[in-house]
Amino acid sequence: MNILEIKQLEKRIENTVLIAQMNLEIKCGEAVAIQCNVEIGKQLIHILIGESSASGGQVLVTGKTFSSFKAICKKVGIVLLNESLYDRLTPFEYLSFYKRLYEVKTDVNVLLQKIGLVKRVRIDKLTFSEKKRLQIARAILHQPELIILEEPIQNIDIESQYIIRNLINDLIDEQKAILITTSNLENAITMTDHVYLLNEDGLKKIDVMDSEETTEIETGELQTDLPTNTEEIENVQESQINPIPFRFEKIPAKVNDKIILLDPTEIDYIESNDGISYLNVKGEVFPCSYSLNQLFDRLYPFGFFRCHRSYIVNLQKVREVITWTRNSYSLILDDSKKSSVPLSKGKMNELKEIIGI
């Protein structure tokens, strides 16, 4: 069953498109993470809970539209990046207050134990990470069907990250639907395998898999099932039983124990450091098992240029060519950091031929 349905949703302010038209469904027992700009994530959440209007499309929670958050507050739990707590209360008093507000029978002591907090310390004595865990406890206290989390593990300690990730897994087992927005792609991948990018081009799913599943991808070959019966083998032509090679266009990058498969167009540039290739994608860096030479062979057809012995750049992302001295050049990229990539003197003429100057 779909708990959250987003249909043809878009947000514009005058001629500026904040959220390009998007569609998304989240089912029971599914966690989806959307990696996007913080402000875009905030806008999306406010639309989803009825506190801001969309320019088009609709949002359905448990199959129904709604006009305000009040209409769905018992079905939805929400944690925003910046929200206030009642600092003079203890965690037990705080959660007990919401228990009475929602008129539920949740055992507050069990919930506090689950998030690793003691009940007698005042909230103003808690660390930032402990407060984040308390906020999530408050959001799930009334057993909502949909939980929306804005940047749930941003800037928190390792213990809290571990607790929150385990809590998300428990909620999935309980058949809850979870939507996470985060500006950090690595955080998204470590919380769920259902990861999307939301940018000016719209919503796009990222392929995520466990690292042991990538053997065939890294060899670049797909093995066909071969007959084992002697009679079957005799009836099959030799050309039919050879492994069939195929061209795999995506580039694998590793994040902890998971592999993400990136479209070449998502990569801004690649840097080689101490023999390891690092993919730079929207301000984040991911190691790749391929050498720089292997990556260039794969990426050349997509408009990538070997601008330096240690760098490959996506020419579609280049905004400026800067001349520092007669023998020193840099490429300035059209990304959020305005990244600078070195251009070797010997590559300057080759680049001029490519871009036609």
pLDDT in tens, 82-108: 888 999 999 999 999 999 999 999 999
Residues 93, 120: contact at Cβ < 8 Å? Answer: no
Q: What is the pLDDT of residue 118?
A: 84
Q: What is the mean pLDDT of residues 35-63?
A: 92
Instruction: Count Cβ atoms within 10 A of the Cβ of residue 323 and give its class: 0-12 exposed, 13-18 middle, 19 or more buried.
Output: exposed
What letter represents residue 139's amino acid?
A
Most confident among 144-153, 298-307, 318-327 (mean pLDDT): 144-153
Q: What is the pLDDT of residue 244?
A: 46
Residue 226 pLDDT greater than 90, yes or no? no
Among 72, 118, 73, 123, which residue's Cα sits nearest to residue 94? 123
Among 289, 222, 239, 235, which residue's Cα sits nearest to residue 261? 289
Q: Among residues of the chain, what percentage have pLDDT more than 70? A: 88
Q: What is the mean pLDDT of residues 164-179?
A: 95
Q: What is the pLDDT of residue 212?
A: 53
CA distances from 158 to 19, 34, 129, 313 (A): 32, 22, 9, 34
Residue 240 pLDDT greater than 70, yes or no? no
Encode 129-148: b = buried (16+ Cβ within 10 Å), e = exposed: bbbbbbbbbbbbbbebbbbb
Q: What is the pLDDT of residue 210?
A: 63
Task: State how far the Cα of 109 lies from the Cα of 146, in Å rounded to an integer.
Answer: 23
- The band of 74, judged by pLDDT with boundaries at 50, 70 and 90, is very high
Q: What is the pLDDT of residue 214?
A: 47
| pTM over the 0.75 mark | no
Q: What is the pLDDT of residue 357?
A: 67
Residue 224 pLDDT greater than 60, yes or no? no
Structural domains present in the chain? 2-200 (3.40.50.300), 207-223+241-355 (2.40.50.1020)
- The band of 229, judged by pLDDT with boundaries at 50, 70 and 90, is low
- The band of 222, judged by pLDDT with boundaries at 50, 70 and 90, is very low
Residues 253, 286: contact at Cβ < 8 Å? Answer: yes
Q: What is the pLDDT of residue 250?
A: 87
Task: State how far the Cα of 281 lies from the Cα of 56, in Å rounded to an integer.
Answer: 30
Residue for token pair 């023998």: 327
pLDDT in tens, 127-154: 999 999 999 999 999 999 999 999 999 9
